[in-house]
Structure 1
């Protein structure tokens, strides 16, 4: 009972945070930078996915198929952001090749290994690894180039912090999800409760990223 209440509370917090992020983005859309708009598009997909998956779960319908499609969409949108911001470190064509390879891997995994009725932990595991690598590369590029002395004022810094925090925390969680799916409700509650906490941090950092006005653009206007 306690686990159920905790899950319900954290789930509502996550949904409200996503909605808040979307509203912030809508109100500031004209001034949003490229990466902020991509995050807005991602969140606009995420909210209905979250709501539909919860509804299906409550009516005892398998909702795993949703995540087979959502995982691909999430990775591609985030990879588009990194493709732009890592173009001085990695050739855009290489990031594009990774994006295509990931889609192919996701399709192969769904067709041959984890069907639409199963949780796509293999695909999410690979997604986590790839995004963690891209996030580390972004931090490396910023430290190498030192273009932004106040990274906390740069939206991409907070987007990257959100990515590396959430996907690092979720890496092991998603990988073991299938092995623990037959465990007790208490164990499942701990797993998804932990995931909900990662989600809260994830969307709080996204909210900060959407609230920040781009430092470079502001500096250019002043000059």
Structure 2
């Protein structure tokens, strides 16, 4: 039987979970206001935010109506990878872009196998979650490498896609271990530990949504130079 302290902690975790989900409205509002200035890649992330909102609403409705929403979250694992993959396909200029479509098809096939065979329809597809996190982390790192190769003279914290990539990297690197532990806690029926996992996810959701909103807000604005160009006047000044 839960103690009063654990019951209060559970209520706090539930409230934090709802706050983390509701925070998706922030990047959606900012992205909608800046939609005319969004480049193709950030626009793809904006559509991903809209998808997140729809899936979260459907998942919450299914939980309240039927006490079952595992399949909806399984669908999220597939859709998330496609939306983010398309966004990075538009911004990355590596030759491996040609393999994005077959990789996406293979990923979807594995996710369906995980859903119907490996984990079934009653458990979260942990293997797919780990694979998705690894792939998205790889995409963000490829984007960082591309920026280093280009050596653009701009402040990175003012670049919309860089800020969005930091948001995605923080979230998926921070939650992959938590979601692996979630499967173990579900097997052990450890409800409090499961809620702790979701609390970690909620905090990282808040961070990710805030950074994505900032990335949308920066879209179309004049980038600031990291190093001011050397003018003739400054070049003639004595050392």
Q: Is the TM-score greater than 0.5? A: yes
Give the 4+ runs in structure 1 shifted more than 6 A.
216-219
- Which moved further from structure 2: 140-149 or 150-159? 140-149
What's the offset of the Cα at 1:160? 0.5
CA separation in 2, counterparts of 1:148 and 1:14? Answer: 35
Distance (whole Å) between structure 2 residues aligned to residue 162 and residue 119 of structure 1: 24
TM-score (norm 2): 0.83
Is 1:113 aligned to residue 131 of structure 2? no
Which structure carries more helix by proportion? Answer: 1
Rounded to whole Å, the distance in 1 between the matches of 2:129 and 2:32 is: 29
Cα distance in 1 between the residues matched to 2:219 and 2:139: 23
Q: Where does residue 164 of structure 1 map in the other structure? A: 169
What is the CA RMSD across the aligned residues, in angstroms?
2.1
Equivalent residues in 2 for 1:181-220, closer than 5 Å: 181=186, 182-214=188-220
Question: How far apart are residue 143 of structure 1 and its match?
Answer: 1.2
Q: Is the 8 A contact 1:83 1:96 kept in 2?
A: no
Query: Counterpart in 1 of 2:59?
Result: 53
Instruction: Please state if 1:15 is matched with 2:26.
Output: no
TM superposition score normalised by structure 1: 0.89
* CA deviation map 1:113-157 (0-9, x unaligned): 122222111111100011111111111111122125211111100
User: Following the alignment from structure 2 to structure 1, what is the Cα–Cα distance between the partners of residues 22 and 194?
Assistant: 23
Give unmatched runs, 5+ long, in structure 2.
Answer: 1-6, 226-239
Q: 1:15 to 1:108 in 2, by over 3 A?
A: closer
